[in-house]
Chains A and B, each alone.
Chain A
C-alpha cells in the first residue's frame, strides 16, 4: 500500500545535512520550502528535492543576526506564526542607501506572512490577491484599494543582501525587485515587480514593543528612530476632535454669555447734557447732582457723547460716594478729526468702572480742551450693571489655542513623515546611511 495517494495523518518536519559542511539543517516549512540556508556555513541550498543541493556558497562577509531568532513563535492577529526565514534587503545607491530586515512567518494552515523592520519600525505584512487601482490621494499620486486611497511614498530597487532560514521560493543573494510603497497610516500597500509580474502586499504598522511581547523576546524592542512612512500620527483624529471640542465649548460659552447678559440690570442711573468752552485761568471742574447706584457691587459704565469737530476734549472724572467719600478716578480723551481723506477718532467714548459698591454717588467732571476751541456740547450718561463681555472674548480667544496647537503639531508630524518620501514635492530624499556593510543590528 502506497501512501502517496492517501495523505499521511501527520506531516513531519524534515531535518537534513548540509552537503557543504555537514551541519544539520532543520526545515520548518514542510514541503513548502524550496530554498534553505545552512545555519553553519550560510550556503544557500535547494531544498525542493530530498537531496539538498548547494545553489551557492557565497554570502555576505558579515553575518547578520536576526533580532527575532529563527524558530521563534509569536501570536499576531490571533494566529501563531513561526519565524522560518530572514532576509536583509537594501535599496538605493552607495552613498544614499538604506537596509531593512524581513522576517518570513509561517503557519501551516494560515500560510505565510512577513514582518519588516527598519530602524525600530515594524510592519506586519501579508500578500493580497486584489489589484489596487491607480488613483490620486489628495494632491499625491497613489492607488485605491478597498475604499481607501494610498499615497505614493517611496520607490526603488530592493536587493537581497543576506538570507537565513528557509523560503517557499528560490531565494538568491543579489535578487532584485522593483518596489513602490503607498501609504495610508497605519497601512502600507507595496507592489513588487519581478520579471514583469507584480505582487501586492499590505503592511500594518506595529510598534516594536508589541512585536517583542508577541514573540516573548528578552529585553526591550530597539528604539524607533524618526518617523516611518506609515507610522500612525499621534495626532491622527485629534485635530478634528480638538476643533469639535472647540466648537462645543464656544456654544457653551455663547450660551453662558447670553445668560449673563440677560441677567444684568443694565439700568440708566444718570443722564445730563452740558456745554463747555475753554476759558483761560478758569476752573472748569463741576459736580453733578447725586444719583443712586442700586443693587450689589457691580460695574458702572459712563458714556460720553459730544459734537466735537476737528477738536479734542480731555475729561477727568471722579465717581465719588457721597457717604463714604470713596472715589473712583479716571480720565478719557475724546477727539474727532475729519478732512478730505476721511475721519480719525470718534465723537463718543465710554469708560467701564468695575466693582462699584452700591450707594449715593455724584460725578466730578473736569473737561479740558485746546485754547480757543469752539464750544463743545456733550452728554454724560451712567448705566449700572452693564453686561461686560470682554472676558468672554478673551475666553473665546484662549479656547482657540488647543486646536491651533494640535493642528500645527499634526502638520509638523506629517511634514517630517513626507520629508523622507521620494514623492514629496521638491525635497530630496535623505535616508540615514550607515556603514557600507549594511549590517546595522
Chain B
C-alpha cells in the first residue's frame, strides 16, 4: 500500500490515500467527493452530513479475516425504513479489496464477483428464488429498497449522487450470502459470508460511553 498525497481541489487540504488503487475519496475537511484522474483530483460532488451512526467500525479500523490483515479505508452508507447499514470498504494486506458490512451489528464479509449466471432484472427477482452458484444454492431472502445516504473515504469505483436503490439479499443453508446490487446496469453481484465479531480480531474501533471494546 502506498500513500500518495495530493491536495483537495476545492479547499487545498492535503488528501492522502491508504490504498493506491482507490478511484474515489472524500476530503475530510470540506466534504468534497474527489475522483482521481490521470493527473489530479477532480471534485464531482459533496457529501451531505452523514447521520449519526453507531457502527463500532471507522475508517482506520484494522482486522484479520482468514489470516489476512485488512484496514478499513472507506464506506458507503445506506438507509432503509428499518434502519441503516454500512458497507465498509476494506483493503487486505495483499493489495486486494473487499467489503465488510455492518447491519445492526451483524457482520458480513464480501467481495465483488463476476455473476456465474445472468442476473435477473430488478423487477424479476422474487423472494424464494434459488440460484446455483459455485456448487451452492443461494435463496433470495429479502428485497430491500434503500436510500443512498453518503460515502466516506476511499472506494474502488466512482460512487456518488445515488438515489433510491434496490438490493436482493440471498443466503445459503450454511451461512454464505450474496447481494445483488441494482445500482448499476447490469446489476452487481457480491458474494460473502456471515462472520462473528470476535473472528475479525478488530483493532482501532470506536469507543462508546460506558463500554470497553
Contacts and interface: CB of A to CB of B under 8 A. Distances in A.
B118 interface: no
A130 B173 contact: yes
Does more than half of chain B's interface fall in helix, strand or loop, or is it mixed? loop
B197 A111 contact: yes
Interface of A: 1-2, 4-13, 29-32, 34, 107-112, 127-133, 144-146, 168-170, 196-198
Interface stretch (B63-71, B89-97, B159-167, B203-211): B203-211
Contacts of B56: 108-109
B201 to A, nearest CB: 12
Given A2-B49, A4-B49, A109-B205, A131 B105 contact: no
Given A6-B28, A11-B206, 12 more contacts: A4-B31, A4-B50, A32-B104, A109-B197, A110-B197, A112-B105, A129-B175, A129-B194, A130-B194, A131-B171, A169-B82, A169-B83
B53 interface: yes
Contacts of A32: 54, 83, 104-105
B211 A132 contact: no
A7 B172 contact: no
Given A107-B211, A108-B54, A7 B105 contact: no
B28 A112 contact: no
B111 to A, nearest CB: 17
Given A32-B54, A110-B105, A12 B209 contact: yes
Contacts of A34: 82-83
Interface in B4-24: none
B59 A108 contact: no
Given A5-B47, A12-B209, A168 B104 contact: yes
A5 B127 contact: no
Given A32-B83, A112-B104, A10 B173 contact: no
Interface in B106-141: 106, 108, 127, 139, 141
Contact of B209 (A13, A111, A144, A197): A13
A111 B54 contact: no
B179 interface: no
Nearest to A147: B174
A130 B83 contact: no
Contacts of B53: 31
Contacts of B51: 31
Contact of B172 (A12, A131, A198): A131
B213 interface: yes
B82 A198 contact: no
A170 B59 CA distance: 29
Contacts of A108: 54, 56, 105, 208, 211
A30 B56 CA distance: 11
B142 interface: yes
Nearest to A169: B82
A131 B29 contact: no
A10 B209 contact: yes
B59 A7 contact: yes
A29 to B, nearest CB: 7
A146 B174 CA distance: 7
26 contacts: A2-B31, A4-B47, A5-B28, A5-B47, A6-B59, A7-B58, A11-B54, A13-B210, A30-B54, A30-B208, A31-B51, A31-B54, A32-B83, A108-B54, A108-B211, A109-B56, A109-B202, A109-B205, A109-B213, A110-B105, A111-B197, A129-B194, A130-B173, A131-B171, A170-B81, A198-B141
